[in-house]
Amino acid sequence: MAREHHTKVLILGTGAAGLTAAIYAARANLEPIVIDGLEPGGQMTITTDVENYPGFADVVQGPWLMEQMIEQAGKVGTRFFSDIVMSVDLSRRPFEATGDGGDIYSGDALVIATGAQARWLGLESEQRLRGFGVSACATCDGFFYRGREVAVIGGGNTAVEEALFLTNFATKVSLIHRRDELRAEKILQDRLFANGKIEPVWDSVLEEVLGTDDPPGVTGARVRNVKSGEVSELNVEGIFIAIGHDPNTELFKGQLDMDEDGYIVTAPDSTTTSVPGVFATGDVQDKVYRQAVTAAGTGCMGALDAEHFLAENPAEAEAAE
């Protein structure tokens, strides 16, 4: 039977932003409820080595770091619910989120921390063979390519990190990039160029994933050089798409101001959105920095903004006391 759950601060998402918001809101006695959604722990759970999150002299693992954050948020009083939010109503307070089983979660303030998800190229063959050799997560699927050849598409930090990670398993990794210059940080580029197993394929795009349907599997990549027009085929059995992310903001369309890429617009130096009492944190509102540590920082801001908002705009029941 569907149930109702009320809190002062409702938080959607359990990545670094949502969990930091939860820690701060719980320590401010706001008894937050956090709903974890489709990817509990967020994008950090599909990464491996993390060496740029401050506080750890030695490399830590992304999933471990998120487990620690979840435990920390729970210890200070956060209530967690595993549910998929299907709709939200931001037209009045308390704001409401409805889960896929019909449960209703309401909050006097709402902190959105639903993050972002991997982007796909949109090729028919890519979608058909997704999960059968085409992946957006080397950490999740790299293990299956021991002793095989694979390709990674993209030229950013994610693509380079995935290519490096895949050299632990694959015999050869082709990094297919549409330009002749990488966007990734220099330290990662240096590691990439020093790794004999990785071969960059410059100025090239993936035209088609070659594969079989029965049983489903990838047998190659048809690649086109955008300068010469030349088409070639690579003998790879795995293709990892690493071309960036899109914000998970579909739920809020038409209710909050967003930019042309679907990111929620927040006021400068604040997590305030176009609806008073609704705050956006992490990758749903940041397309510039997009780091776990910046997501955590804006999560903290979201909780503090919610706390100030509730102090100035108490819920009706409290105002009447």
CB closer to ligand NAP out of 7 and 298: 298
Task: For the chain, state the CA radius of gyration.
Answer: 22
Q: State in angstroms the smallest separation of the CB of 220 from ligand NAP.
A: 18
CB closer to ligand NAP out of 7 and 158: 158
Identified catalytic residue from 141, 283, 286, 305:
141
Identified catalytic residue from 140, 190, 257, 259:
140
CA distance 65 to 268: 29
Active-site annotation holds for 103: no
CB atoms within 10 A of CB 270: 14
Peptide bond into 276 cis (omega under 30): no
Active-site annotation holds for 141: yes
Backbone angles phi, psi at 310, to 5 degrees: -65, -30
CB closer to ligand NAP out of 293 and 315: 293
Active-site annotation holds for 300: no
| Tokens (6 digits) for 169 | 């398993």
Q: What is the DSSP string of 74-101?
A: HHTT-EEE---EEEEE-SSSSEEEEETT
Q: Which candidate, 32, 30, 18, places its Cα nearest to that of 292? A: 18
Q: State in angstroms the smallest separation of the CB of 239 from ligand NAP.
A: 12
Q: State in angstroms the smallest separation of the CB of 98 from ligand NAP.
A: 31
CA distance 280 to 122: 28
| Tokens (6 digits) for 320 | 């009447």
CB closer to ligand NAP out of 77 and 244: 244
Contact set with ligand NAP (CB under 6 A): 52, 121, 153-159, 161, 178-179, 183, 205, 242-245, 290-291
CB atoms within 10 A of CB 58: 5
Question: Which H or E element spans position 307?
Answer: helix 292-312
Q: State in angstroms the smallest separation of the CB of 10 from ligand NAP.
A: 27
Q: State in angstroms the smallest separation of the CB of 123 from ligand NAP.
A: 10
Question: How many residues belong to the chain?
Answer: 321
DSSP type of residue 46: G
CB closer to ligand NAP out of 200 and 302: 200
Question: Active-site residue numbers?
Answer: 137, 140-141
